[in-house]
Amino acid sequence: MRRLAGLIVVPLLLLSTAACGDDSGSDSAQMKNGAPAITKGAKFGETPTLAQGQGTPPKELKVVKISEGTGQALKKGDIAQVNYLGQVWDGKEPFDASFGKGAPFDVTIGAGAVIKGWDQGLEGQKVGSRVELVIPPELGYGAQGSGEKIKPNATLVFVVDIVKGASVPASATGKEVAQDNKDLPKVGTNTDGKEVAVTVPKDTAEPAKLVSSYVLEGDGAVVKDTDNVVVKFNGKTWKDDKTFESTYATDQTVTWPMEQLSVKGLKEGLVGKKVGSRILLVIPPDMAFGDKEQGTIPAKSTLVFSLDILAVM
């Protein structure tokens, strides 16, 4: 969840139609195909070292295929897991990298959650590929730059390994399961990708234990505690029946690394459920945030979720 701090580490490249350049350009020890050369670790999966760019950088997005994979071609809305190294054109050291950190970075293609050069440069690339992206300022961080390492109007160079990819449906589409307990919230069963209604019963005691039940039961793989789970959700507090966060407000999915989930009830409620399902989660305070406030969530709140399990990575 975006406002539930500590669930996901946000790399530097997150946000604060240009044409792709071709692969032409004179080669040298420091330049290849018009982009800074990879001087060490050139193979997919290896940690690369980039040379310093020479001359004037390209004014348009340039995509160089270092090696092409055999997996699916990424399209808008797909989730990809990637490893990357980023360096400014005239820099000698990377400003950021995920190689060697133990976990790849998740990106939704075309969602606008990363710099434009990534969204445009990764679309159409195949899973298993290594690409080099040379990104002009207007598709990077522009005139404002980013921190001390990326100066205003900097051209960025990334080496990106596309480790995994998955197409993500707009909604859970499983078999409808009866919601016959009048003491529990009722969840909408629409499958059009639009907001899912959650209605909390009035004048009813909050459950003392975790509730995790199917609303729509899918037939996909069972979620494991080591998966990265792609979800949409509508989250409410029981007491006031008010939404504290909903992915439908931005029409985007969220990817949760299960091993990093800090909300115990979320993790326990998801594990064992099938991909393609919609579930109702009711999380008592001792499995949520306890006696601590969390953003707009008051202390000692029982949380209620409608949650679509769309894919695992």
Q: What was the pLDDT predicted at 313? A: 81
pLDDT at 63 over 90: yes
pLDDT at 4 over 80: no
The pLDDT of 100-111, averaged and rounded, is 88
Name residues whose C-beta falls within 8 Å of residue 78's C-beta, 6 or more positions apart in sequence.
Answer: 72, 108, 109, 165, 166, 167, 168
- Which whole-number Å values give the CA distances from 146 to 11, 53, 117, 242, in the listed order? 12, 20, 15, 36
* Pairwise CA distance, residues 267 & 288, whole Å: 10
pTM of the full predicted structure?
A: 0.74
The pLDDT-based confidence of 234 (bands split at 50, 70, 90) is very high
Q: What was the pLDDT predicted at 28? A: 66
pLDDT at 31 over 80: yes
The pLDDT-based confidence of 254 (bands split at 50, 70, 90) is confident
β-sheet bridge partners, residue 281: 212, 305
Percent of the chain with pLDDT over 70: 91
Q: Mean pLDDT, the chain, as a whole number?
A: 90
The pLDDT of 206-226, averaged and rounded, is 97
- Provide the token pair at 73: 């071609």
The pLDDT-based confidence of 19 (bands split at 50, 70, 90) is very low
Q: Which segment of 18-32, 80-94, 224-238 scores lowest on mean pLDDT?
A: 18-32
Name residues whose C-beta falls within 8 Å of residue 20's C-beta, 6 or more positions apart in sequence.
Answer: 60, 61, 62, 63, 120, 121
Name residues whose C-beta falls within 8 Å of residue 249's C-beta, 6 or more positions apart in sequence.
Answer: none
Name the nearest CA neighbour of 167 among 298, 237, 72, 42: 72
Q: Which segment of 22-36, 120-134, 239-253, 263-277 scores lowest on mean pLDDT?
A: 22-36
The pLDDT of 110-117, averaged and rounded, is 90
The pLDDT of 254-271, averaged and rounded, is 94
pLDDT at 301 over 60: yes
pLDDT at 39 over 90: yes
The pLDDT-based confidence of 184 (bands split at 50, 70, 90) is very high
Q: What was the pLDDT predicted at 292? A: 94
The pLDDT-based confidence of 294 (bands split at 50, 70, 90) is very high
Name the amino acid, one letter, at 183.
D
The pLDDT of 33-44, averaged and rounded, is 95
